[in-house]
Each structure stands twice: as structure tokens, then as C-alpha cells.
Amino acid sequence: MQKLDGQKITEALAAKFASPTRSTRLTVVLGRWLGITFTICFFTGLFSHGLQNPPSWMYFPTSPVWIYQLTQGLHVTAGIAAIPLLLAKLWSVYPELLTWPPVKSLVHGLERASIALFIASSLLQLTTGLINTYKWYPWPFPFRETHYWLAWVIWGSLLLHLAVKLPAIAAHWRWRSSRDPAVGGPAANDPGTSGVKPSFEAGSAGRWSRRGFLTAVAAGTGAVVVTTAGQSFSWLAPANLFAPRKMGTGPQGVPVNRTAADAKVTELAKSPTWALMVRSGASSRSFTLEELRALPQHSHELPIACVEGWSQMATWRGVRVQDLLASVGAPAGSELRFTSLEPEGAYRTMNMPAEYSRDEKTLVALELNGSILDLDHGYPARIIAPGRPGVLQTKWLHSMEVL
């Protein structure tokens, strides 16, 4: 039996996968675009995670009121844009993964390990993140915690990969340097290649040039963004064809994530004996719905912005949290805990830092867009505060307590 020759296998694969569009310069350009999207996802994701799991040092901005609408919209939009960019980058480098021997040195081994970890974790992160926007969880692990820690794995493997590939990245960062033979650039008569691995890059001429390929990737990424980002950005709403949420839909013209039936609160919320309990130490007061409506009412334009990426501005009307605090002798700027009528669930109770209770725009809302709250929007009363994730805007309020 003839013994396999690794070098011959490598050369055969090189001939099979050779393409004038596949080059180190192309990979560097795609890497820059992908790096921008991953950086946006990483830092906006940390911000969202901090709002939901607040560390002691964190400051919670309430202005501009659309700050979370913006950051979470960027997070999901950048994540969706990263999908075609990651696939294009994989296409640009996958023949390199077939070279023989698979590990040539310590540095080469680190490069392989970092890219394997980066690709695996990125594919899992982007796939589960996209499915999460549809609120579908077919996996056994908790999404939020897994999403958070995978972001650190991706970032660590990316930094390691950048460190070991820094010389090649620097040599091909600029178009002029990528064409310099002294840094491994292409031959002057080969406009489609840049040359770190000529065996894979200088193959037979194809229908696509490198510029044409990049233009196609940019157009595809732009099309994906334009047809989905309208769930977060109103000026793109008319082009929102594929996102799971659309502005202007749902009860009172606002989408709903969790209905009263899902939360099993329908009877409790409709009960004529419902009242909101407000407590501060030994002092407490109970407000019926009519008593809340008799208090001074305030209206504000505030967005409801969800972690799945959709958001919408709406007009909310109700009682200022500051006024309810004053009714039990508590100062504005108290840290609070709100409890929902929901019998169970991760967001049945919600703690609110002092920045929000101090803001006069934070309301116990009784109306939405000019009419009484729909049951699915939190009737008889819910919280709406500027700059907070939707999951923390407690619906079907039962009590408010000063901590």
C-alpha cells in the first residue's frame, strides 16, 4: 500500500482550492470589518449585562432616555452583520486549515488553537444569539449566562490570534504594503493575490476579483442589516422584512414579549380588589387603582427596549415614583424593589438603583399611547424608567418597597 505523502496532499489541496480572491490582504480586510462588529457586540453586551447584574461600582445613566435602545439595537444589529462577515472570513482562510503538517511549531500551534477556539465559540455565539431574538430556546443551558461567558472566550481567543498574526496583519494592513514583494505581496503581474501562501492564492483566474468579492460581501452584509435593523431603529422600520418584531404592531401599537396569559396573571390583574402596596420601613400605604389615578399624572415619551433587540418609543402616563416615595416619607433616590403579580419567573422581582427612582421620568404607568394599559402591557400598573432593559420594566405591579 502506497504511503501517503503529506506534502503532496498539501500541494493537491492547494491546486484544488486556489483562488485569485483568497489572500492575506483579503483576510485582513474582512478581519477589520469583523473586529468592528465584535467590538460593538462585546462592549454593548457588557453594558446590558451590567444593567441586569449590577456591580457595586456601576453608574446607571438615565439620559438620554434612549441610551439602552441605542446600545441594544447596535448589539443585535452588529451581531447579525457579523454572521456573513464571519462566513466570508472562514471562506478566505479555510484552505490554510488543510495544510500539512497541522502543527509546525509552538507559534503555529497557538495560532491553530486560537483560531479553532475563536471560530467554534463565534459560530455558537452568533447562532444562539440570532435564535434568541426569536425567543426560541431549544438548548438545555441558560442563554444569558452562556452568552456572557462566551463573549469573554471569543475576546480572549481573538486577542491571542491577533498577537500571533500581528506581523502578517501589519504587513497587509495597507493596500500598498500588501502589494510589496518584500513583505510577501503579490507579483506585479498578478493583481488578484497578496501572497503569504502563494500555493493557495495564485491559482487559476476566476470570475471574481478580490475587490468584487469584498463588494459582494459588503452588499450582502448591508442587505442583512437594512432588512432587520428596523426592529430597533425607526428610520429603518419600513425596510424591516425579516426581523421577528415590527414597530407599530401589538396592543396599543407596541409589541409584546410576554403576555398576561403566559405570566398567569390574568385573573389577579383584573381583580377589583387589586391595590399597589408601597412600603418604606415601618411606613406603608396601599393605593387602589382609582386612588392612583387621582394622584398627579405625568406623561413622557420613553422607549420600551428589549434584550432581544427590538424597541419602540411610546407615550406613557402615570404617577411619578418620586411622589409615591414621598407618600411613605422616603426620599427620592431610594433604592427600590418592585414585585409583580406573577407567581414565578426570573423577573418577578426587580431591584431599581437610586439613579432611576431619582429621575422624574420614572413612572408607575397607568396608560400607554393615550389609553388605559392593555392587559398584555401590564394592566393595571407597570414600571417604565428611562434607559432600562424591557425585562426590568416590571409589569402587573403588586408592590414597591424601599430597600
pLDDT above 70: percentage of residues in the chain? 86
Question: What's the pLDDT at 93?
Answer: 82
Question: What's the pLDDT at 13?
Answer: 64
Digit-coded pLDDT (tens) for 318-363: 999 999 999 999 999 999 999 999 998 888 999 999 999 999 999 9
Window from 74-83, 125-134, 163-172 with minimum mean pLDDT = 163-172
- CB atoms under 10 Å from CB of 159, counted, come to 11
pLDDT at 157 over 60: yes
Question: Dihedral of CA 374/379/385/387: which sign?
Answer: negative
pLDDT at 192 over 90: no
- Written as nine digits, the cell of 352 is 431599581
Q: How far apart are CA 43 and CA 48, in angstroms?
A: 9
Question: What's the pLDDT at 100?
Answer: 73
Digit-coded pLDDT (tens) for 232-291: 999 999 999 999 999 999 999 999 999 999 999 999 999 999 999 999 999 999 999 999
pLDDT at 195 over 50: no
* 5 band by pLDDT with thresholds 50, 70 and 90: low
Digit-coded pLDDT (tens) for 39-77: 999 999 999 999 999 998 999 999 999 999 999 999 999
What would the mean pLDDT of 177-190 be, rounded to a whole number? 48
pLDDT at 183 over 70: no
365: CB partners within 8 A, 6+ apart: 316, 317, 318, 373, 378, 381, 382, 383, 384
Pairing of strands 311-320, 363-368: antiparallel
Question: What's the pLDDT at 204?
Answer: 47
Window from 5-19, 272-286, 335-349, 368-382 with minimum mean pLDDT = 5-19
Q: Radius of gyration (Cα) for the chain, nearest Å?
A: 27
* 197 band by pLDDT with thresholds 50, 70 and 90: very low
Burial class (CB in 10 A: 0-12, 13-18, 19+), 103: exposed
Q: How far apart are CA 382 and CA 376, in angstroms?
A: 11
pLDDT at 122 over 60: yes
Question: What's the pLDDT at 23?
Answer: 81
pLDDT at 7 over 80: no
pLDDT at 178 over 70: no
Digit-coded pLDDT (tens) for 132-147: 999 899 999 999 999 9
* 3 band by pLDDT with thresholds 50, 70 and 90: low
Q: What is the mean pLDDT of the chain?
A: 88
pLDDT at 176 over 70: no
* 188 band by pLDDT with thresholds 50, 70 and 90: very low
pLDDT at 203 over 50: no
What would the mean pLDDT of 378-383 be, rounded to a whole number? 98
Burial class (CB in 10 A: 0-12, 13-18, 19+), 49: middle
Question: What's the pLDDT at 209?
Answer: 78
| Residue 276 near residue 292, CB atoms below 8 Å | yes
| Residue 313 near residue 301, CB atoms below 8 Å | yes
Question: What's the pLDDT at 189?
Answer: 39
Q: Of 39-53, 86-100, 173-187, 205-219, where does the model show the most confidence?
A: 39-53
Count how many residues are written for the chain. 403
pLDDT at 1 over 70: no
* 316 band by pLDDT with thresholds 50, 70 and 90: very high
pLDDT at 199 over 50: no
